[in-house]
Amino acid sequence: MLQNKKILFLSVALLVFGITLGTPEPSQAFSLKLSDYFKSLWQEVLAEEVGEFTPGPIDEGKDPTLGAGQPPLMGEDLLKKDAPSGDFKPLPKLKPLNNFGRQMNGDIKRLDTLIKNGERQGLKMPVDTKNKIQKLQKTADDLEKANSPADLEGIDLTETDDTARQLDETKRDLENQTRQLQGLLRGIKGMEQQLAQFKKQLAKLSKQGLTVPSSINDTVTKAGAIIAAVKSAKNLDEAESAGAGDLQDLFQTLNESRQELELLTRWPQTVKQVDKQLAQLDRALKKAKISVDKLAKKEIDISAIYAKFEEGVKTLKASYATAKQQMESGSGEEAFQTLEDEVFGNMEDILQYQRTIEMMTNLGRFTSDFKTAMSKFDRTLKALEKKKIDVSGARDLYVQAKAKGDEIIALLKSGTADQEDVAAALEELEGLKVDLMESLQELAGDTVALPWKQGKPTQQFGELQPPTDFLKVAPHFQDNSTQ
């Protein structure tokens, strides 16, 4: 009864062991390692009796003491050549070993299939793997067919355990390589989609007549070529040789260019705005020429002021032409910088000549216009002072401008002032007002209204982010590059 319970316990233990092996995740569906239970069972079988022998009928010439009713043969007696015929019942503990051998044979076949698939993919594996498989398979065959301890005595348990462990490591490594390659290819697919969207946005810029910097196009082309090569890779080594380890840096480079590209999308509206302002200046020049000619008939010569106005407009147009050439050559950032520094940055300095000419034609309104302008400057200064901002420099310019304006008012009231002296004073006043306005803008944190900085920021170029599947494999390339 006790023996039957023990057999039942062992059978249940093996069943649990088998279930444990049969239910892991797909990537670890089987294991070749020998369990502690199996090894202890093996040792027990070698140490204990192997089974029972029930003698058959007594044959003539045989020892009658071996007839029915005699004690069963035990241990090595069963192996003697002169052992009588009869029915042999293997020891119950041998059955789990037979089953384990059968299971091991199945696992070896699965490993062999895994290896063949890996070889087709060019995966790495130890050179002596096939020899180890053959050795372990022989052991599995012996286990499956064992009927007695003698069938097990030729098996080295330690060597078998080592071989099984090594093959199990090979299996895990093959599975890991396969899993990494599959993950890499999934990640590459995601990167290919992102790059395609990026190229689509670049094509839109080209259709608008904008020149994308050659460095950006070169980076896109290089990334695309690597992605195409990696997609054809059969293993991680081929993927690495194709340049997979460079993709992260290339994507980062493209991300760093996004700000420049977003700026390029603002170029059409910028061109429209500059064209509009330059057209307004052309009209202002014509109007100013008429005013200057009228004043000349009154023997008031302000042609020098008009000449400065005209030359300033020509300079703006030349700078604008330079910016457009820079844009066409692919130097977008330089083009915008030229517009900011040489066009919009000089606009107020040039407009002061226009205002001076207008004031000379409307001297009767000078006093009221001047007082209105200075009152506005004073309010701005006081508002900044309330914010504890040091406005001493701007306040000094304000005092100078007010003094110059008062001087002009006095000249106009005198009735005997030389009109050309008035014009010179007006030109000086406008210069002071421009300096004061720029100083106040700087103190308030305001900047020149640039067309490409107006409105809500656009994001036509999305960030390029290597997928998680790719990032999981990326350290493999980095580790190899440092070796």
Q: Where are the domains of the chain?
A: 2-53+88-155, 185-262, 266-453
Count other Cβ atoms within 10 Å, centred on residue 325. 13
pLDDT in tens, 65-103: 444 444 444 444 444 444 445 554 555 667 887 888 888
Pick from 65-79, 275-289, 290-304, 355-369 the range whose average pLDDT is largest: 275-289
Does the predicted TM-score (pTM) go above 0.75? no
Q: Which of 47, 473, 433 is nearest to 239 (CA)?
A: 473
What average pLDDT does the chain have? 79
pLDDT in tens, 37-57: 667 766 776 666 444 444 445
Instruction: Name the H helices within 298-391.
Output: 303-328, 332-338, 345-361, 366-386
The answer, yes or no, to whether residue 325 has pLDDT greater than 90, is yes
16 — pLDDT class (breaks 50, 70, 90): very low
Pick from 11-25, 80-94, 320-334, 439-453 the range whose average pLDDT is largest: 320-334
Rounded to an integer, what distance in angstroms lies between the CA atom of residue 339 and that of residue 269?
13
Q: Which of 174, 194, 105 is nearest to 143 (CA)?
A: 105
Give the helix/strand (H/E) hosting 462: none
Rounded to an integer, what distance in angstroms lies between the CA atom of residue 460 and that of residue 414?
63
Integer CA distances (angstroms), 210 to 260, 321, 331, in order: 12, 15, 10
Quick check: 237 and 124 in contact, CB under 8 A? Answer: yes
Token readout for 292 is: 């200057």
Say what the pLDDT of residue 90 is.
Answer: 52
Residues found in the chain = 483
Rounded to an integer, what distance in angstroms lies between the CA atom of residue 153 and that of residue 182?
44
- Percent of residues, the chain, with pLDDT higher than 70: 77
Q: DSSP 3-state assignment of 52?
A: strand
Pick 270 or 148 by higher pLDDT.
Answer: 270
Q: Which own/partner contact pairs does 444-447 have at CB distance under 8 Å and 24+ positions apart? A: 444/380, 444/384
pLDDT in tens, 227-274: 999 998 888 888 999 999 999 999 999 999 998 898 888 898 899 999
pLDDT in tens, 182-235: 899 999 999 999 999 999 999 998 888 888 888 999 999 999 999 999 998 888
